[in-house]
Amino acid sequence: MSFPSDFVWGAATSSYQIEGAVHEGGRGDSIWDLFCRTPGAIYKGHNGFVACDHYHRYAEDADLLTGLGAQAYRFSIAWPRIQPTGVGPANQAGLDFYDRLVDALLARGIDPYVTLYHWDLPTALHYEGGWANPDIPQQFGEYTTHVAKKLGDRVKNWMTHNEPQCSIYLGCGAGVHAPGWKRPFEELRVMARNVLLSHGYSTLALKAEIPGCKVGMAPVGQTCIPASRSAEDIAAAKHQMLGIRPDSLWEMPLWLDPIVFGEYREDVLRDPVAVPHLSEADLKVIHQPMDFLGLNIYSAPIIKAGEGGKPATLDDSIDDPLTAFRWLVRPESLYWGPKISHERYGLPIYITENGLSNVDWVGLDGKVQDPQRIDFTRRYLTELGRAVDDGVPVEGYFHWSLLDNFEWAEGYKERFGLIHVDFTTGTRTPKQSYHWYREVIASNGESLRADPSTVV
Ligand code: FCB
């Protein structure tokens, strides 16, 4: 396991989960503010109104990134800070905040990786139909232009959407995320089309404003792990991972095939009516060159070849380790996810999110001991190293998350940070895993090899 010398090590966050200050600097309301005000929507009525107060503490957080030795930081821009109602001229105070943040990062030698949409849609746009509104793709393009004009001289790596599977399905289908809609799949596919178009307009805007910039996307890296190394199990896992099922938005090809290939390739269509309807004109906008693929990978099912080679999901064992969120610990997802995705799309890959929630608290000695996070990350990174050794061009890894933060509908219940946050006082305490990850970064992954328990 040997990471390339220019491998990028970093950590990730998103605007709504950390910033707070939701009514400052002229920021407009977002659908997550609205959802937080909805009784019963969020665990114990928690909200993101203050969160980690990163809006005021960004310099301290940049120092913490320095302490970690991070080479890069992935964060997102809150659309309602840039355009309070989602349209019209840019709000200077909003742009200035990200300007200060980017400068703070660069002054510390940390490369910013910016996501344009990590789910905080301006509420005003929601009332116009949100992602169902046919105007939203172009509006997203205009928003992108405002951001690119301000930050494009310093930010070179961009992601349009984070996990559209969640913003559309969890938000507008299952109703468990903002805006809490329960719309039928027919309508969700219309929204998916608009997301794809918005990716196209956003890419065009970025490329027009910032020569040489790199543009990607960060979908849920929906992954399947083959039950064995047999050709049959591997084929079954790929078939399962890539096949678009009729009533599902989770599969990556639903989002990536039209962007990368300009069409849905036959091999992933399990049912021809299951994909968004895209006209030739739509595809012209959507089919833009993509420079890298971001994968957010946390867990994965294990698939074997069942009867006639058909994919069959292995039952979880009672001994399978679980995170605090009760997500299965599946390190091999960080081998198979990048490998299969690269085989299909041929793009360089970043792991844009990976991590776990854990039951962390500040001990009597003032330290936060989180051995599970260390063990989890060691196992996953070892698998990622294996993918690198196999020739998969993985360019970087962003741990989710830098800070404990507002975990959407779960409120502050799930702690994903390398840094513990006391949400009453705002105090940050680096966890044991922060110090451990610093060694991984400093040794470019060699410290994973040195430790005998890295052998899986
Ligand atoms: C991902 C989200 C991210 C965070 C992690 C735990 O789905 O992109 O914001 O909530 O899960």
Q: How many whole angstroms separate alpha carbon 248 and alpha carbon 253?
A: 12
Catalytic residue among 163, 383, 395, 407: 163
pLDDT in tens, the chain (456 residues): 789 999 999 999 999 999 999 999 999 999 999 999 999 999 999 999 999 999 999 999 999 999 999 999 999 999 999 999 999 999 999 999 999 999 999 999 999 999 999 999 999 999 999 999 999 999 999 999 999 999 999 999 999 999 999 999 999 999 999 999 999 999 999 999 999 999 999 999 999 999 999 999 999 999 999 999 999 999 999 999 999 998 999 999 999 999 999 999 999 998 777 899 999 999 999 999 999 999 999 999 999 999 999 999 999 999 999 999 999 999 999 999 999 999 999 999 999 999 999 999 999 999 999 999 999 999 999 999 999 999 999 999 999 999 999 999 999 999 999 999 999 999 999 999 999 999 999 999 999 987 555 433
Antiparallel, parallel or unpaired: β 394-400 and 292-296:
unpaired
Is there an atom of ligand 1 within 6 Å of 166 CB? yes
Q: Is the CB of 117 under 6 A from ligand 1?
A: no
Complete DSSP assignment for 347-359: --EEEEE----B-
Establish whether 353 is a catalytic residue: yes
Looking at residue 244, the DSSP 8-state letter turns out to be: B
- Which helix or strand (DSSP H or E) is residue 311 part of? strand 311-313
Q: Which of 19, 209, 251, 353 is catalytic?
A: 353
Query: What ranges do the domains of the chain cover?
Result: 8-454
Give, using CA atoms, the residue closest to atom 10 of ligand 1.
Answer: 407
Which atom of ligand 1 sits closest to the CA of residue 414? 6
**Options 3.40.50.300, 3.20.20.80, 3.30.1020.10, 1.10.3720.10; CATH of 8-454:** 3.20.20.80
Is 163 assigned a catalytic role?
yes
Is residue 257 lining ligand 1, measured as CB closer than 6 Å?
no
Identify which of 358, 384, 357 has the alpha carbon closest to the alpha carbon of residue 456. Answer: 384
Q: Which residue's CA is minimally distant from atom 9 of ligand 1?
A: 14
C-alpha to C-alpha distance for 92 and 292, rounded to whole angstroms: 30
Helices then strands, counting H and E runs in the chain, come out as 16, 13
Distance from Cα 313 to the centre of ligand 1, integer Å: 24
Ligand 1 geometric centre to CA of 326 (Å): 14
Nearest to 313 by CA among 324, 292, 299: 299
